[in-house]
Every structure is written in structure tokens, then in C-alpha cells.
Amino acid sequence: MLYNVWDAGSAQAVAKAGVGAIATGSASVAMANGFGDGELVPMEFALSNARRIVEAVELPVTVDFEGAYSDDAAEGARHIARLAETGAIGCNFEDQIVGGKDLHPIAVQAQRILAAREAVGPDFFINARTDLFLKTPQETHDDAMLDEAIARARAYAEAGASGFFVPMLGDLGLLRQLCGDSPIPVNFMTYPGCPSDDEVAATGVSRISHGPFPYMALMEQLTEAAKAAIG
């Protein structure tokens, strides 16, 4: 269970809850610092923020690094290697073309993952995220999309991915099939109205994260507290 954070202070607060690891969310980091999501946080800022989080807690830290700030495999791999130098033990690495509507073709994304794996060595956790389900309405999620997701999971695993992340896949039947066919552990992200953690865990999911929703909920509480304070 990963309750996503955005800075050193939120990481320390979540660490006090007794969690086993710390994970950032790119949208949370962006919103907390006045940026838009989608690699609009300057990379140097993202790297320094990651380092501050690592230094603030005595837990493994994994960082949502979006598309590694490059469509080029070699350049993206160098950026992920720099992230590893902050002390982070892993990252999310997504297959959408950042700023566009489409995903990288399977072979292209597999090459990007392979380059990253070669750059960081065997121990860094590369959580290969597919935005196949995120970019399409949930009512369109079907067996054909599942087949593509499984093909991506297998190709990404062969290229060196450690895990497979499928945000917004909320159909428990499809999720169960994916977990059964994926050669690497599957990561689910909770969202408002999604199945319960117990239902999700029963499909075979290995990792449940919370994405931007902890930040958004806390900001709502802050707004309401401010309203109450000013009368």
C-alpha cells in the first residue's frame, strides 16, 4: 500500500503512519508547487525534490518520473540514472507520449525500458506504467484492450521492467485476467468510486497506490479550515 506524497514534509507525515515505503505522485508534486502535470515540473526541480524526500525519511522511496523527460531512449535512460543517484530505489515510467494523445508503440517503449535498465542496473525498480486505460473511457475497456495490455506487460517485462502499472483499470474481471497473465507484479491506483482495496487485492494485484488523491483531499480540508478561520 502506497499513500503518495509530494515533498519532504508529507513524506515524513506518511512515514509516521508506519508504512513500509514512500512513493511520490507526479500530479501531487506539480500541484503542490504551482506547476501543471505532464512534465511541466522542471526536471532539475523534480530531481532535487526527490533527493529531499529521500534524505527526510529512513524508508525506500519510489518516484513518479512520468516519461523520463524525453522520448529518446538513451536520453530518458540518462535521466532515470540521475534519479537513481538521488537515492530513490525505483520509479514509475509511463508509455504515453507526454503532451500527446497516443502511447508509444510497444516496441518503442520496450526499447526505452531496456535502455533505462541498462543505465541503472538490476536492482532499481522500474514500474512500467501503461496509460492504455487512463486515456480511454472506462465503459470502453474490453477484452481487446486487455490483450494489448497483456502484450505490453510481457514486452516490458522482457525489456527489464520490475512491475506493471495500470491506472484507471477498474473492471475487476479484466484486472484479474491481467494479474494472471502478467509476468511481473501489477500496480493498481485507487480513485473515487473504484472497487474496495479488498476486492482489488483479491484479483492478484501486488501494489495499490493512491496517486494525487491524498494531496487533493488534504487541500480540500485546508480550504474548509481556512473558510472556518475567517468566519
DSSP string, 118-166: HHH-SSSEEEEE--TTTTS-GGG--HHHHHHHHHHHHHHHHHT-SEEE-
- What is the chain's mean pLDDT, rounded? 97
Domain ranges, ordered by start, for the chain: 8-230
User: What's the length of the chain?
Assistant: 231
The CA angle 157-72-146, to the nearest 5 degrees, is 35
Q: How confident is the model at residue 101 (pLDDT cuts 50, 70, 90)?
A: confident
* The pLDDT of residue 99: 87
Whole-angstrom distance, CA of residue 170 vs CA of residue 138: 8
**CATH code of the region 8-230:** 3.20.20.60
DSSP H/E element including 71:
none
Mean pLDDT of 25-39: 97
* The pLDDT of residue 51: 98
Mean pLDDT of 40-62: 98
What's at 227, amino acid-wise?
A: K
Whole-angstrom distance, CA of residue 212 vs CA of residue 166: 15
This prediction has a pTM of 0.96
